[in-house]
Structure 1
Amino acid sequence: MTGELRPSTRTRVALPARTVESRLIVVARAQRAEDYEPVLDVLIDAGIRSIELTLTTPGTFDRLPQLLARYDGAADLGVGTVTNSEDLARAVDAGARYLVTPITSTSFVQQATDAGVPIVPGGLTPTELFASWSAGASAVKVFPAGQVGPSYLKDLRGPFPDIVAVPSGGVDLAGAEAWLAAGAVAVSVGGPLLGDAFGGGDLGALRDRAEAFVAVCAR
C-alpha cells in the first residue's frame, strides 16, 4: 500500500536503565543554566534519577559538561527540546544520556540511533506516534498528555501493543500514578513538581514534592 508505515529493521537504542527503573523524568526548564545546580542538588538528593535539561534554557550546552561531571554517577542527564539536527548532534557530542524532542521526525530518530543515543520524539496522534516508533525510537513522548489522559494510552495499545510511551505535559501527581497504571514506561513531569523552584521558591517544598513523585513512581 502506498504510504504504508513499515517497522524499521534498525536496532532500537534502549532508554537508560536508571531512567526506566525510576519511571520518572523531571523536565528542568530554568531561566538560565547557572540556576541548575541548586535545584538539581535537591532533586537528586530526593531520589530523582533522570533529568531532562531543556535547550530553551540559555547556556545549557555550555553547562552540560560540568553538570555531567557533577551528577552522572547519580542521575541520567538528557537534553530536551531538540528541534534541529545541529542541536541533536551537539547534544550527542556533549554526552547527553538521552534526547527528547517535542516533534515527530524520523530523520532525528535515525540520526540519534546511528549515534547510539536513545531518543524520545513527541507526538499526539496515532500516526505521529507510530511513525516515530516504527522508525526505531527508544520510546514515544505523548505530548501534550494533558489533552488526552491515561485512557488514551490504553487505546493506543490496541493497534500498537508493543509501543513504549512516556506522557509529558500537564502530568501531576495523580496523573503520574494513572499513566503508569495505564502502561507508561515512565512519566515526564515539569511544573507540577518543580513549581517555582527556578524562580527562588522554597527548596524544602521542592524536596517534599520530589519525594512524593518518587514514591508514587516506585509503587
Structure 2
Amino acid sequence: MSRPLIAILRGLTPPEAPAIARALIEAGVTRIEVPLNSPDPIDSIAVMAREFGQDATIGAGTVLTVEQVRDVARAGGRMVLSPNCNADVIRATRAEGMDSFPGVMTPSEAFVALDAGASGLKMFPGELIGPVGLRAMRAVLPKDVDCWAVGGVSADNMAEWRQAGAAGFGIGSSMYKPGDTPQVVSDKARRMVAAWDEVGA
C-alpha cells in the first residue's frame, strides 16, 4: 500500500543511496526526493531510479531551473519539487512527463502554480503556514487539488495537518539526516508510516 509520504534525503551521497532507498521502500515509503543541494544529487537519483524505479517514485527537490528539470529527467527521475513557484519550471517538468510539486505559501502562488500545470502544491515552509493557514487556503482552492505539507511535519502533528486538509507530507529530518544508517532510517520511516496509518483515512 502506497502512502502519500515523501522522504526528503537532504545530504544523501550516491554510495549510500541504494541502501537508504531500500530501507525506505521496505518500510512502506515509496516516494523519495533528493534535494539538488545534496552532494552529487543527480548521481544519487540515477542509481536509485535504476535499482528501484519499479518500486518507488524517485525525484529531486530544490529544483530551481529548467535545465535542472532536464537533468532530473535524464537521470530517470519522475517528480520535481521546488521551494518556489516558477511557472517555467512547472511547465518543463510536466513536458518531461514528471510530476510537479512547486512550493507555495499564498493563494496567488497556488493559482499561478495550478495554471502552469502543477500536479499538486507543496505548502512550504510548513512551519510558517501551519494547519491554520492551510485550512484557510483550502477554502478557496479547487477541491481536487492535493496539498502537501513540507517543513515541520512530525508524527506528533500529522493528525492536525491532516484535519486541516493536507493530502500528504514531505518529511526531512524525521525520516533521514546525514549519517543515519539504513536501520535508523527504517525505524524513522516505520514510525511515520504508522502515524499516517492512524490519521490517513
1:113 is matched with 94
1:209 is matched with 188
Shift, 1:68, TM fit: 1.2
The aligned length equals 197
Q: Report SS of the residue matched to 2:141.
A: coil
Q: Describe how 1:19-168 pairs up with structure 2 within 5 A.
A: 21-30=2-11, 32-162=13-143, 163-168=145-150
2:39 alignment partner AA: P
1:188 is matched with 170
Percentage of matched positions with identical amino acids? 27
Deviations 1:82-105 (A, max 9, x none): 111111111122221111111111
Deviations 1:163-207 (A, max 9, x none): 32111111111222322232222100001222x4x22x4543432
Q: Report SS of the residue matched to 1:112.
A: helix
Shift, 1:31, TM fit: 5.0
Q: Which is further off, 171-180 or 144-153?
A: 171-180
Gaps of 5+ in 1: 1-17
Cα distance change, pair 207–124 in 1 and its aligned pair in 2 (3 A): same
1:45 alignment partner AA: E
Q: Report SS of the residue matched to 1:109.
A: helix
2:197 is matched with 218
CA contact under 8 A between 2:79 and 2:98: conserved in structure 1? yes
Deviations 1:140-174 (A, max 9, x none): 11110011211222111112133321111111112
Cα distance change, pair 58–202 in 1 and its aligned pair in 2 (3 A): closer
State the TM-score, normalized to the length of structure 2: 0.89
1:189 alignment partner AA: I
Q: What CA distance in whole angstroms lies between the structure 2 residues aligned with 1:113 and 1:193?
A: 27
1:15 is matched with none
State the TM-score, normalized to the length of structure 1: 0.82
Cα distance change, pair 202–66 in 1 and its aligned pair in 2 (3 A): closer
Gaps of 5+ in 2: none
Cα distance change, pair 89–204 in 1 and its aligned pair in 2 (3 A): closer
- Quick check: which has more Rg, 1 or 2? 1
Q: What CA distance in whole angstroms lies between the structure 2 residues aligned with 1:150 and 1:39?
A: 30
Q: What CA distance in whole angstroms lies between the structure 1 residues aligned with 2:147 and 2:161?
A: 10
Q: Report SS of the residue matched to 1:78.
A: strand
Q: Report SS of the residue matched to 1:150.
A: helix
